[in-house]
Amino acid sequence: MDGAEFHAAVYETVRTIPNAHVTTYGHIAKLIGMPRHSRHVGQALKFLNPDTNPPVPWHRVIGSGGTISSRGPGTDGASRQRDALVAEGVEVVETRGGEFKVDLRQYGWFPTVPAPAELPPDENEENGP
């Protein structure tokens, strides 16, 4: 799977996350058959064109601990993600450390990962997409 195919698979899968639910970067990676590429899922979403049609609900993908990933100093990405989730009815709490967190037990969406025989080969296991 090359980079463009990887991005397309990520976007297609993220589009299936139901409204008012979230899943993790790692689960998206598993669903597309690239279980060791959760960071690449984040990169694919980082470079998502905002005019992509149909839209990709990037805000529904969060960290494995239920946290909204920081976008670095001076950015408002985490706040925009929180606001988009809250608008859908997802409860987002701010931790003492200032992180935004979602209860994965309540709002998590984790469909069954296809059996290995059903998955495409993870041909770029070591080098990434």
Question: pLDDT tens for residues 90-112?
Answer: 999 999 988 999 999 999 999 99
pLDDT of 127 strictly over 80: no
Q: What is the pLDDT of residue 121?
A: 60
Q: What is the pLDDT of residue 114?
A: 76
Domain 3-118 is found in CATH 1.10.10.10: yes
pLDDT of 124 strictly over 60: no
pLDDT of 129 strictly over 60: no
DSSP, residue by residue, 1-28? --HHHHHHHHHHHHTTSPTT-BEEHHHH
Q: What is the pLDDT of residue 1?
A: 81
List, for residues 27-82, the tens digit of each pLDDT value.
Answer: 999 999 999 999 999 999 998 998 999 999 999 999 999 999 877 666 788 999 99
Alpha-carbon distances, residue 11 vs 26, 45, 71, 105 (angstroms): 14, 8, 20, 24
